[in-house]
Amino acid sequence: MKYTTTALAAALLVCAPITAMAEDSSDPIVIPIHNWSSQIVMSNVVGQILQERGNYVEYVTTDSQAVYESIRVGDVTLEMEVWEGAFGASYRAAMEKGGIVDAGDHDAVTREDWWYPLWTKEACPGLPSWEALNDCAEVFATVETGDQGRYLDGPVDWLKHGKERVEALDMNFTVINAGSAAALWAEIGAAEADKKPIVVFNWTPNFAEAVWPGEFVEFPAWEEGCDTDPAVGPNPDAMYDCGNPADGYLKKAAWDGMEEKWPGAFDTLTKISFTNPQIAEMAKLVDVEDMEPEEAAAEWLDANQDVWQPWIS
């Protein structure tokens, strides 16, 4: 049988409402909130986008590693920021057990590692090499760390393995975990006045790069398996003897039942993609402009209609 153009157009018209009839469940889509600003704002941005297209959403504050198990069993519906360096291992473990799906990558490149504000280089000119940093350890010594250098790592739930790295590379540093992301910014802010040399955990995209020019310490380059196989990396007897990936991914993940229960929302989720500058801007609205996350999300959506409207149409 041959279709004329008109018949084909009519068939398409009939089809359109049928596609729209697969309706999303009115149960709330459960969106997890963690402890760094871009994730909190982005989750609110996505929650508001989903509400805009008629979905119900609910936010839960959860641990940023345990969330992958919660998604896998369907207690949490999605995750907007799967950072390769911090969460790649938990995400891969959940993928192996099943129940979680890859909902695509953001158009962003991420890096999370030891970092210093640029003024630190005056006291330790060999930077960014990790060996030069180690030779300068006493420059970073504090009352708390004795003659060892002080490295302020991220909050424990980000599992940065700073202590394991110091041991694996035999570094003269003591690793302290920050209680929150805000403690990292306070440390940099306090060092700024008299240009005190410091080394702290930091990442990109983030608001910090616009406020404090700085650089990541160059550790032995990341190799697949550095966090699971002692043979990988320069120390044959230890894991975590490499830096984090310098060009890490930023993924979205979802419960594998999401597509069937909320097909429209799942379709939108797979289309969503934020860039480095957009993610840095989301963090800035909270960390520099002191907005509440919900308000920051509304402001971001208002200023970026052209970015997100196509994801719901």
Return residues touching ligand TMO (CB under 6 A).
36, 83, 86, 112, 158, 203
**Tokens found for residue 226:** 């550095």
Nearer to ligand TMO, 148 or 202 (CB): 202
- If the CB atoms of residues 83 and 185 are measured against ligand TMO, the closer one turns out to be 83
Nearer to ligand TMO, 82 or 198 (CB): 82
- Other residues' Cβ atoms within 10 Å of the Cβ of residue 268: 21
CB of 289 to ligand TMO, least distance (A): 19
Report, in Å, the least distance between residue 12 CB and ligand TMO.
Answer: 44
Residue closer to ligand TMO by CB (options 103, 159) is: 159
Sign, Cα dihedral of 236, 239, 244, 249:
positive
Longest dimension (CA), the chain: 86
Output the six-digit token pair for 79: 């995750």
234 preceded by cis ω (within 30°)? no
Distance CA 127, CA 137 (A): 12
Q: Which is nearer to ligand TMO, 36 or 130 (CB)?
A: 36
Our CB check for ligand TMO shows the closer of 86 and 217 to be 86
Integer angstrom CA distances of residue 312 from 265, 281, 308: 8, 22, 7
CA dihedral 18, 20, 26, 28 (to 10 degrees): 140
Residue 250: CB minimum distance to ligand TMO, A? 9
In the complex, the smallest distance separating the C-beta of residue 83 from ligand TMO, rounded to whole angstroms, is 4
Q: Is 269 in contact with 79 (CB distance < 8 Å)?
A: no
Minimum CB–partner distance for residue 86 and ligand TMO (Å): 4
Amino acid identity, residue 22? A
- CA 2 to CA 11: how far, in whole Å? 13
Shortest approach of ligand TMO to residue 19 CB, angstroms?
Answer: 37
